[in-house]
Amino acid sequence: MQSWLTSLSDRLTDRRALRRWARVARDAGSVDKPTLRQARVRARQLRQKLDQVLFTADSRLALPLLGSNTFQKPLHSDWAHRPQAWRGPLEPSGVASVRNATPFGDEVKLFHDCPLSEVAVRQVRNTRESDLAPFGVTLEVFGFEGSFLSLAVELPEAATEGLHRNHIVRLSVSSEAERPIDVFARLNIQYGPNHEQLPQRQTLGNGEAEFEFDLAYSNMNEKQVQKMWVDLVFGDPEMNQITLRDLTLYRHPRAEI
């Protein structure tokens, strides 16, 4: 099964191909344009296959494993979740010049009012020993003339099943940033025609941060809860790169006294 990697003839073929492409690269500045166009087509075809091999190899060989939902949860937690963008590969894995309300996977959307859309988002593979999530999400912000930049994470139906006002919902974020940035996290709860928001503020840098939302301070009607989502609103994001290495949510009942 693995002979295609180890046979002498294939290794020799690979060496000849490397030498051939080295010559193509060396001569690319001097050949005629029709020849260069043909080389470009073949190079793109080859790059597509190589990228597939590298992506699959990186995904299988790097830790943590794809689909991992391992993270520390408080005692008595009755629901926990790591969104798709931090759990499995997305296609496409990045978006440049992000427009307002751009989806990134099935659960994440980016919102902003920057007129020039100088914002990029991409999924990165986590490989550090301390990482528990397979993937991270990087936001790159250049000149930013808007008034807000936010990342909205929609939570699955299981998040609202059996939800009560004696629950505490926690959002845990592991991050890296070129410079510390203030983040306002809002837990949004839609129940019937009403919409409840519970805000928390933290400064994200290089490390861990937790946002805690005590539903006892909400006015939600437990019988009418329809959905929940979380907004992360980034303050003064201009000329910064923020990588959310992990993002997890969980809930647990408040301790009764």
Per-residue pLDDT tens digits of the chain, which is 257 residues long: 455 555 777 777 888 888 988 998 998 889 898 898 888 888 888 888 887 777 777 666 656 655 556 667 777 889 999 999 999 899 889 999 899 999 999 999 999 999 888 899 999 988 887 888 989 999 999 988 899 999 999 999 999 999 999 999 999 999 999 999 999 999 999 998 999 999 999 999 999 999 999 999 999 999 999 999 999 999 999 999 999 999 999 999 987 65
Residue 222: give its domain's CATH number: 2.60.120.260
Q: For residues 112 and 239, state if they share a domain.
A: yes
Q: For residues 48 and 84, state if they share a domain.
A: no
Q: For residues 109 and 54, state if they share a domain.
A: no
Q: For residues 47 and 90, state if they share a domain.
A: no
Q: For residues 43 and 120, state if they share a domain.
A: no
Q: For residues 56 and 109, state if they share a domain.
A: no
pTM score of the predicted model: 0.72
DSSP string, the chain: --HHHH-HHHHHHHHHHHHHHHHHHHHTTTS-HHHHHHHHHHHHHHHHHHHHHHHHHHHHHSSSPTT-------TT--EEE--GGGTS--SSSEESSPPTTEEETTTEEEEE--TT--EEEEEEE--STT--SSEEEEEEE-S--SS-EEEEEEPPGGGTTT--TTEEEEEEEEEEESS-EEEEEEEEEEETTEEEEEEEEEEESSEEEEEEEEGGGS---GGGEEEEEEEEEESS-TTEEEEEEEEEEEEEEPPP-
Residues spanned by the domain of 153? 79-253
Q: For residues 92 and 187, state if they share a domain.
A: yes
Q: For residues 55 and 105, state if they share a domain.
A: no
Q: For residues 144 and 28, state if they share a domain.
A: no
The total domain count for the chain is 2
User: In this structure, is residue 70 part of a structural domain?
Assistant: no
